[in-house]
Amino acid sequence: MSMAAVATTPSGYLLVLAIMWPVVGILISFVAGGRNIARVASIVLPVGFAIALAVLIAVVRDEQSQIYVVGSWAPPLGIALRADGISAAMMMTTAIVMCATGFFAHGEFDQSPGLPEARAPLVFWILLFAIWSALNALVLGSDLFNLYVALELLTFAAVPLVCLKGQKETIEAALRYMLFALIGSVLYLLGVVLIYGAYGTLDLGLLAERVRMEPAAWIAASLMTVGLLAKTALFPLHLWLPPAHAGAPPPGSALLSALVVKGSFFLIVRIWFDAMPGLLSVAAAQLLAALGAGAILVGSVLALRQQRLKLLIAYSTIAQIGYLFFIFPLAAGPPVGMDWSGQAWTGGWLQLFSHAFAKAAMFMAAGLIAEALGHDRIADLDGVGRKLPITMLAFALSGLSLVGVPPSGGFVAKALLLVATVVEGQWWWGVVIVVGGLLAGGYIFMVLGKLLATPHVPLTLQDTVSRPREIAALFLAICAILLGFVPLQPSELLQIGR
């Protein structure tokens, strides 16, 4: 990572826009109120998408990071915003999921004309904009304290989304989530102050030059990592996730599972690969991957044992997060012959993007099924596939990506990781990837079998499902499949700025 010349690049202003625009949306929402919120959203979402696309194009065109130095104060005194390849790709993924979720949510969080103004639509859209802004700030920040603020904004937007329905169970789930998040944020902050005390800077680029292998650095890095793991819900800190993600309304679950847990993961990668590249010892990398392996096995087995569809999908999230942590031992190693560590790097990020699309699609499909049937008990799903073919198709396609069946983003991601495990002589992680794929196949095909079965008594739907909402879920599932057509080699985009 080269931070030699920290100066605002010509397209740097786009980074400020990316963070500011959703906040502008929030402010307008407060003025417009619940009655006009859908119209506000129909402007904020496409413009936000266009900004993310513009950042991606600028990064690809210039083949270098886009930088904005806030107030022209250069680090270490000032704060720089920086979009490298992974930030741009992450912003694009966020924008796609946000727009599809917004489209899906129109059916659920619209103010019905003639009725008194409801609170939920206004709150939902404001939280959606807030999550978007916080995620953009998180992927663009290059100052550890600035990143802390972004992380907290993300948590404060995500927790209320869990308890939007206001039932006792969801409030409990939100409180549990909040308590884990509190521990996470304070441990992260403790790491930040130790870093500042030892090196006198919080800028990622300057830290990379100054950090030495010494107790202050590794204690700080461990504290920050543990704090972030609690927010990412990596096994064994995953206890809060299933009730929180399963209890939220479907568009909320989609955002939480697809994007919010990835925000803190992104920050862990920033710390270990960008701020303290020399500090990632073999033991630390193996420990992180071991926790990931534990997440894959425990999450998948628990998913197999669930009786409710939304809980099954939430446990599947825990398992899929586990794969991301193989990036640490596989991508940090020295290149052997060909660029195998680059391959693992690409595989890890593709897993993140394809899981974001697939899991959002799957939560939407599950939400539509629950809406149509009035319940989401897996045992009573017989024959839903015949009544809701498009929803079932969305569920099936996103499921294939989670299992890793070609062609799908999940397949490419897992294939790249698997090859890297073999070539780098860490075959034990390869075994976990294969077993995890089989277990995922188990819980996905268990549900698909139910959906396709012929029911004993003819199935009657309690509620109709709107076609546009089914299309939104299907669109995201197709995005997950389309990622399967990227070439099986290290991606140049994801290497920009490294």
Site residues, other proteins (CB under 8 A): 77, 145, 148-149, 152, 155-156, 159-160, 163, 167-169, 171-176, 178-179, 181-183, 185-186, 189-190, 192-194, 196-197, 200, 239, 242-243, 246-247, 306-308, 311, 370-371, 373-377
Closest contact distance (angstroms) between CB of 462 and other proteins is: 10
Nearer to other proteins, 85 or 184 (CB): 184
Closest contact distance (angstroms) between CB of 83 and other proteins is: 23
Residue 495, token pair as written in the block = 């290497």
Cis before residue 407, ω within 30 degrees of 0? Answer: yes
Q: What are the C-alpha distances in Å from 218 to residues 63, 213, 226?
A: 33, 7, 12
Nearer to other proteins, 337 or 374 (CB): 374
Closest contact distance (angstroms) between CB of 127 and other proteins is: 12
Calpha distance 65→49 (Å, rounded): 19
Q: Which residue has the tokens 């407060």?
A: 30
Nearest by Cα to 361 from 89, 44, 103: 103
Nearer to other proteins, 173 or 352 (CB): 173
Nearer to other proteins, 303 or 352 (CB): 303
Nearer to other proteins, 332 or 369 (CB): 369
Nearer to other proteins, 142 or 185 (CB): 185
Closest contact distance (angstroms) between CB of 311 and other proteins is: 6
308 three-state secondary structure: strand
Q: What is the CA radius of gyration of the chain?
A: 22
Query: What are the residues whose beta carbons fall under 8 Å from the beta carbon of 365, sequence distance 6 or more?
Result: 391, 392, 394, 395, 398, 473, 477
Cis before residue 236, ω within 30 degrees of 0? Answer: yes
Nearer to other proteins, 84 or 371 (CB): 371
Closest contact distance (angstroms) between CB of 192 and other proteins is: 8
Nearer to other proteins, 196 or 445 (CB): 196
Closest contact distance (angstroms) between CB of 446 and other proteins is: 16
Direct distance between the N- and C-terminal alpha carbons of the chain, in angstroms, rounded to an integer: 4
Q: What backbone phi and psi angles, to 5 degrees, belong to 67?
A: -125, 140
Residue 13, token pair as written in the block = 């202003």
Calpha distance 436→389 (Å, rounded): 28
Calpha distance 335→343 (Å, rounded): 10
Nearer to other proteins, 28 or 216 (CB): 216
Closest contact distance (angstroms) between CB of 168 and other proteins is: 5
Closest contact distance (angstroms) between CB of 308 and other proteins is: 6
Number of residues in the chain = 498
Report which secondary-structure segment, H or E, holds 142. none
Report which secondary-structure segment, H or E, holds 81. strand 80-83
Closest contact distance (angstroms) between CB of 488 and other proteins is: 38
Closest contact distance (angstroms) between CB of 312 and other proteins is: 11
184 three-state secondary structure: helix
Nearest by Cα to 470 from 396, 415, 416: 396
Residue 375, token pair as written in the block = 């319940």
Nearer to other proteins, 163 or 479 (CB): 163
CA 157, 181, 222, 428 dihedral sign is negative
